[in-house]
Amino acid sequence: MNLPRPEMLSTIDHIGVAVEDIDAALSLYRDTLQMPLIHRETVEAQGVDAALLDIGGSHIELLQPLGPDTTVGKFLARRGSGLHHVAYRVPDIVRALSTLNAAGLRLIDERPRTGIRGSQVAFIHPSSTGGVLTEIVQP
């Protein structure tokens, strides 16, 4: 299956990392690895306390669940902390979702929802992306 460019995925917007303790994770990423912390936000709609660190124009997104019944909480219980998702930037998320849907990918979100920093985001199920939970983001 071929996806048209360049209106589709333009760059890696961020890598999502699930963590048990965001302050401990910040101590690693901000203090030891010296990535600047550029944003911190509780995203109630996604059930996470999130932090964005800058790395070469892309980001690491640390995600601590707000509770065990959230998506990230369940992920942590099942898999433990670690890589959670890869997020690609798109210029037009509605158009991108429609193209991905037409290409046969299994969408978790049929419509965009609000993510960190007021972005529009949508997730693609890992069963149709080779086991990688995939997010698309329109900043």
Which residue, 102 or 117, has its beta carbon nearer to Zn ion? 117
The Cα 47–Cα 55 span in angstroms is: 24
Query: What's the first-to-final CA gap in the chain, in angstroms?
Result: 26
Q: Alpha-carbon distance 130 to 14, whole Å? A: 18
Residue 16 binds Zn ion (CB under 5 A): yes
In this structure, what token pair is assigned to residue 34? Answer: 């010296």
Count, residues near Zn ion per rule CB under 5 A:
4
Q: Of 4 and 58, which has the nearer Cβ to Zn ion?
A: 58
Choices 2-10, 36-44, 85-93, 105-113 (CB under 5 A): range interacting with Zn ion? 85-93
Whole-angstrom distance, CA of residue 66 vs CA of residue 39: 17
Give least dist CB 6 to Zn ion, A: 22
What residue ranges bind Zn ion (CB under 5 A)? 16, 61, 87, 135
